[in-house]
Structures are given as C-alpha cells and as structure tokens.
Amino acid sequence: MASNSSSYTVIIIGAGLSGIIAAKTLHEAGTQDILILEANGRIGGRLQTTQFAGHTIEMGANWLVGGGPECSHLYEIANQLKLKTFFSDFQDISSNVYMQEGGLYPQDVADAAFEAAEARDKFCNKLSNMLSSSSGKDGSDDNDISISDAQRLSEHVPTTPLEMVIDYFYYDYEDSQPPSFLDFGEETFFVADSRGFQSIGYYIASQFLSQEDGVIKDSRLKLNKVVKEIQYSDEGVKVKTEDGSIYQAKYAIVSVSVGVLQSDLIEFKPDLPQWKRLAVDNFQMAVFTKIFLKFPYKFWPSGPGTEFFIYAHERRGYYPIWQHLDNQLSGSNILFVTVTDEESKRIEQQKDEKTQEEIMQVLRKMFGNNIPEPEGILVPKWWSNKFFKGSYSNWPKGYSEKRYEQLREPIGPIYFTGEHTNARYLGYADAAYFAGIDTATDVIKCLEENCKPRSHMH
Ligand SMILES: Cc1cc2nc3c(=O)[nH]c(=O)nc-3n(C[C@H](O)[C@H](O)[C@H](O)COP(=O)(O)OP(=O)(O)OC[C@H]3O[C@@H](n4cnc5c(N)ncnc54)[C@H](O)[C@@H]3O)c2cc1C
C-alpha cells in the first residue's frame, strides 16, 4: 500500500479502556507511530461518568473487584488516584425484600429463600464443573448446560416472585463469575468520586498521550471519528471514517464491542470469513441498565444494612434490584434501580416518562402513596447506542472454546481486542485492560519478527 502522510504502523479503532491500554503498550514498546480513532467525543467508552442532579454518577462500569490474594490493576490505579470507593455490603439484603403488593417478607421467609437459592447455586456449579471436566478437549459443547437446565435437574425451579427475584439477584444481577475470578477477590467496591471511574482511563491515556492544561491534546488521538470501512490485504489496512477521511497502516487493532461487530456499523472489505462471522454473531452482548432517580427528599430506610433492597414481582426482572446512594452521596436523595436484558431493551424503547410512571407504581407499592414525584430521571441507553449495542459480553450456552479462539483470532493485518476477548475476566473492565495489553503484545511480536499478517481459513 502506498505510504502517505496519513500512514501509520498501527491504527487502533476505539478509545475505550482496551484501545487506550493497547495504544500505551505499543507506545512504550517503541511503536509510537500510532493513530487512535474514536467515534465519540470522549475517551473511556463504557467507562462513562456523568453529572446527574448536581452529582457525579456512573452510567457504565461502577464496581471494582477486590479483597482477594491478588490486587487488580484497576483497583491499584484507583488506589493510586485515591478514588473514593465504597464496599458494597449485601449481607443484610434478606431483611430488605419487598412483596409485590408492598410490605417486607418476614425475615425467616426471606432467609429460607436465600438459603434454598444458595443450595441450588452449589448444585448447579457442581453439575457444571462435573460436566466440563468430563468434556473432551476438542471444543465440543455437548456437555455445556445452562443455569435453568441445571435448576430443572435439581428440581428446584424458582417460580414464586420471591424465588424468582432471589434467583435474579444471583444470576442476572451479580452475573455468575468464573471461579478463576476469585484471585482478585469476591468483594465489590462501588466507585463514587467526582472524577469518576472514567478517570482511570484518562490516567492511563495521560501516561503516553501529550496534554495541555490537563486536557489530552495529542494528534495521535482523533475523537468524533466513526470508522465505517476497513479494507485489508497482506499489505496492510485502509480505514475510512464517516467524515470521508482515509488512514492507512500496517495493522489495525479493532477494540469495538462484540455488539458493534455484530451490527453493520463497520464494513470489512473483503468480508470477514464465515467462521469469523459465526464466532462474532453467536457470542452474546448483555444489557445492564442502572436507572437513576432524584427525589426532593428521602423516603426509604436509611442507615446500616439498608443500601440494597429488592422488589419481588410475578414478572421476573421487573424493577428488581435497588440501591440508595445515601452513603456515597449523602443528602443527594438519589436512588437507582437495575434492570437487565429484555427489560432493558423494552425500557429503552419507551419514553422515559412511561418508565418513570412504572417505577413510581413500584415505589408506591414499597413505600406508600405519599411519596414525592422524582425531580429527575436518567435512563442510560446502552443497547440502542450504535457505538456499544449493550453493556458487556456474556459467554452463551453451547459456545465452544474453539469458537472463542476464532472470536479473538486476527484476520490478516486486523487484530481484535476488547473485553469480549479476555475469557478470564469476561465482561469486566479488567478484561478490557488485559485484552488491550495482550493484543498489543501480539502485534509487537509480529512487528519484531516481521511476520506476514496471518489469514487463516478455518
Ligand atoms: C452499564 C454498565 C455497567 C458495567 N459495570 C461494570 C462494573 O461494575 N465493573 C466492571 O469491571 N465492568 C463493568 N462494565 C463493563 C466495562 O465497562 C467494560 O467491560 C469495559 O469498559 C469495556 O471496554 P472496551 O475497551 O472493551 O470497550 P468499549 O469501552 O466499548 O470501547 C470501545 C470504543 O470503541 C468506540 N467505537 C465503537 N464503534 C466505533 C467506530 N465505528 N469507530 C470508532 N470508534 C468506535 C466506542 O465509542 C468505544 O469508546 C459495565 C458496563 C456497562 C455498560
């Protein structure tokens, strides 16, 4: 490919955590001739801090994982930056489970339901471990089993509103974590700091991109550049953006979410091979939505053991998990409720006023008819946003190890990174962090060995 002024060694598409850390890794290894193209007007991607009702809140990633034998790098950075974090204590949650028509479940009833859920969870994990250890190494997926299948085998399928919401709390909300995650610990720390979770991304970026008055100003980072086409051959890549610019490089690192890869936002020329398309299309993008509400005054229980509360409804996942921010943002009178997947999608498609109405009906059931109307509502729309198409990836049932390798596999000069490419911490910001380093390391190795871009056909 002919070289011109817009020719680089590596173009990184996306300036989320994985793209930023990939660029930093390349820079520090001596490959400084790089270009980062980011569709949004800011870096950080799914680390997104915003102002709501005069307070700083997180639309995206909120929790850091810690307390284990190893310290996560992100947690370490947060400590270095002295970001304010708050231990999320779910210990007393069984005291705060509300019935569909109002009133709390008696403590012994809720405790018994939590104990049954714990036993079910143990059974399902045991079954899943047994099946995976007996599965062949050929990538066959015959022995994979979903949580709900395992529950059917355990003959304890959650059916009552109470059982369903606790089940939801275990799986949909907490997200079943792979056991390997335990090296960072099982404790979660909620970031509530005026600089926000996204300051971790800015901190990493500021270590290699130049700044003016604390603002990143480096010609190698271009914001508001929506990549629409990537042409590739053994010679390199030609990247086109929606504003008509064309950039060339030896390699591209694509860090967009698997949800974006599933959409037609970026056209690959030639088309990605069929095996790659299958690997991308069959992976899953989950949706996790925190809906924030600001009230003129507080009407929910406050004090130790009240931070998290649960609403049980016959419709599984209907405004189920609640958190007040009295500890983090004292006096803010902000509550948020978490919904996921199908409910998130439904809510994203309706007007926020309608969502507010539904939420107020739920809150009136829990706290009575005399509660005030909210002064503000914020409904993040991760699924409809064409630059994200969801919140984080999930390994679907039946998706084999072999297919996962194909998801990460480079195509010629195009390398793929992002949280979805790191199985160990899949979905978490930690996954994006390690994925960025790993992918850049692969590219560096290739540059050093002057290797021909790979273009396997599987
Ligand atoms: C609501 C929510 C809650 C979460 N909670 C947690 C949590 O508590 N703890 C945790 O560890 N993780 C959490 N996560 C996950 C975590 O935020 C992600 O795993 C991580 O930030 C992903 O980083 P990434 O670099 O892989 O992708 P991204 O952040 O998506 O970066 C990709 C970048 O590519 C850009 N882009 C997309 N299309 C184009 C294009 N065509 N051209 C140019 N640029 C493009 C995007 O704008 C984006 O900036 C949460 C995520 C969400 C959304």
Ligand 1 centroid from CA 61, angstroms: 8
- Assess whether the C-beta atom of 200 lies below 6 angstroms from ligand 1: no
Cross-strand bridge partners of residue 253: 12, 415
pLDDT above 90: residue 65: no
127-177 confidence digits (pLDDT tens): 777 776 665 444 445 556 676 677 666 667 899 999 999 999 988 886 544
pLDDT of residue 1: 43
**pLDDT tens digits, one per residue of 276-286:** 999 999 999 99
Q: What is the pLDDT of residues 102-141, one digit of tens each?
A: 999 999 999 999 999 888 888 877 777 777 666 544 444 5
Nearest CA to ligand 1 atom 36: 14
8 Å CB contact between 260 and 388: yes
* Nearest protein Cα to ligand 1, atom 37: 387
pLDDT in tens, 416-438: 999 999 999 999 999 999 999 99
Q: What confidence score (pLDDT) does residue 181 get?
A: 53
For the CA of 430, the nearest atom of ligand 1: 11
How do residues 372-392 score in pLDDT, each as one tens digit? 999 999 999 999 999 999 999
Instruction: Specify the pLDDT at position 432.
Output: 98
Whether the pLDDT of residue 270 is over 70: the answer is yes
> pTM of the predicted model, to two decimals?
0.94
Cβ of 17 closer than 6 Å to ligand 1, yes or no, is yes
Average pLDDT, the chain: 91
Give the pLDDT score at 4: 44
Our answer on whether the CB atom of 394 is closer than 6 Å to any ligand 1 atom is no
pLDDT at 11 over 70: yes
Residue 453, both tokens: 């871009």
d(CA 455, CA 429): 29
Q: How far is the CA of 259 from the centre of ligand 1 (A)?
A: 10
Measured CA distances, 188 to 40, 245, 364 (Å): 29, 43, 30
Contact, 185 vs 67, CB < 8 A?
Answer: yes
Q: Give CA–CA dist 194/296, Å, rounded.
A: 21
Question: Does the C-beta of 62 come closer than 6 Å to ligand 1?
Answer: yes
The confidence score (pLDDT) of residue 8 equals 98
pLDDT tens track for 293-351: 999 999 999 999 999 999 999 999 999 999 999 999 999 999 999 999 999 999 999 99
Q: 43-47, 156-160, 236-240, 312-316 — which is least confidently predicted? A: 156-160
Residue 251 clears pLDDT 60, i.e. is over it = yes
CA distances for 328 relative to 229, 386, 451, angstroms: 43, 31, 51
Residue 261 CB less than 6 A away from ligand 1: no
Predicted pLDDT at 2:
40
**Nearest atom of ligand 1 to the alpha carbon of 419:** 26
Strands (E), 316-430: 321-324, 334-340, 376-378, 392-394, 414-416
Nearest Cα to Cα of residue 201 among 364, 397, 18: 18
The CB-side HSE value for 449 (13 A sphere, CA atoms) comes to 9
Q: What is the pLDDT of residue 176?
A: 45
Ligand 1 atom nearest to 16, measured from its CA: 31
User: Which residue's alpha carbon is nearest to atom 38 within ligand 1?
Assistant: 387
* pLDDT at 44 > cutoff 70: yes
Question: Does 39 count as an annotated binding residue?
Answer: yes
The atom number, within ligand 1, closest to the CA of 257 reads 30
Task: Say if CB 162 and CB 312 are below 8 A apart.
Answer: yes
Assess whether the C-beta atom of 47 lies below 6 angstroms from ligand 1: yes
Percentage of residues in the chain having pLDDT higher than 70: 90
Where is pLDDT greater, at 2 or 285? 285
Global ipTM: 0.99
